Copies of this chain bind each other. A is one copy, B any other.
């Protein structure tokens, strides 16, 4: 071995080869002191908590298309007007409405026990007296999909598909397929009904509802979610090897078309040609709780941030439009109605808050090309809030989705989802789930973003929508 060969070997073996240099980190964009001041003042915000507390206390649950959602719109118009917004109005549209009925289940043999479950949105109904049938137990959606139709025909299908917590919430999409698609597949296969393990990460007796859909031409069957402990109980019973018999009573109804609507408020910009910055969350909630994290917090965070800009003493260049969308939970009707009505107006950016109220951990956007300096300035302004700049494009969210699809730049502030799916769509989604300090961190991030985007001299968009 020559010395020269040895030197090459050593150089290759070194974790940081002596010949290479680590690249210097990029120089962060400077933070405008006015933006920093607005951000820091927002860390003492009480506006957002006041909105969440008011909406959950004075209205409570507000299922899409019901009189409760109508009361929420009345409350919202009054609140946004009282906060000083301009052009506050409700924009109605009609959509099909599903309402919950009775929901009870029990194992009648071999181990009689009552179960806790809740119907999924768009579930079919059993007769009022219920059905009694054998349970076909599948621990995963895949196991169920691979089963022959004969294994499920005339039975109540149980699908497990356990979900683990993830910070970015991606496990919801994966585990959630049992809810999104499972009932439709079960109906096609000839099952009598389907009960899934709740798409949630908790171990409480509070089942997680949520919408499901049946393919065109397939008659909806009764479909419900068991609480996680009840689902585990069924699996433990099944492990003993004897057939399980379940009684199931589920009597939800489709009640036809009703009125829903979006509520809109504005902070008018000084330059009518500079375009609109669209922000918001959804006003409707599921019917089991007061919808504090889903999504009173989203409407509250975005409105509080917009109000802080409005009250800053400096009119923004661009109009900030706050939309509290209707009937998101049951199929994104508000977001589609908004895009249909307003899609021709010049929107330059859109951002939605619909992942609860825990601390924001990541910022992503489609602010590229001439707009990239804006993203850089946002990154610098919110880094002190503990927020990283992710690589993905922005534009997530079912309410802004139809508008983003028209070529509008999306901006995402991702809250940590590690605890979100413990209470998402359950009776536990109440004011107790709101951490006021985390809520303030959200408002601070949104305030900084609005201060930067609404005033940015750069042109923004249009952008070519990307698939994530």
Contacts and interface: CB of A to CB of B under 8 A. Distances in A.
Interface of A: 53, 56-61, 68, 111-114, 116, 203-206, 228-229, 232-233, 236-237, 240, 289-290, 426-428, 430-432
A72 to B, nearest CB: 12
Given A206-B206, A431-B229, A111 B59 contact: yes
17 contacts: A53-B236, A56-B233, A57-B233, A58-B111, A58-B240, A60-B112, A60-B114, A60-B233, A68-B112, A205-B289, A205-B427, A206-B206, A229-B428, A229-B432, A232-B432, A233-B290, A233-B431
Contacts of A58: 111, 240
A205 B206 contact: yes
Q: How many copies of this protein are present in the complex?
A: 2
A22 B431 CA distance: 52
A431 B204 CA distance: 11
Given A57-B233, A205-B428, 20 more contacts: A57-B236, A58-B111, A59-B111, A60-B112, A60-B113, A60-B233, A61-B113, A113-B290, A203-B432, A204-B204, A204-B428, A205-B206, A205-B289, A205-B430, A228-B432, A229-B428, A232-B432, A233-B290, A233-B431, A236-B431
Contacts of A431: 229, 232-233, 236
Contact of A116 (B112, B228, B427, B432): B427
Nearest to A58: B111
A254 to B, nearest CB: 21
A107 to B, nearest CB: 9
Given A204-B206, A206-B205, A289-B205, A114 B61 contact: yes
B237 A57 contact: yes
Contacts of A53: 236
Contacts of A233: 56-57, 60, 290, 430-431
Contacts of A240: 57-58
Contact of A57 (B111, B203, B427): B111
Nearest to A107: B60
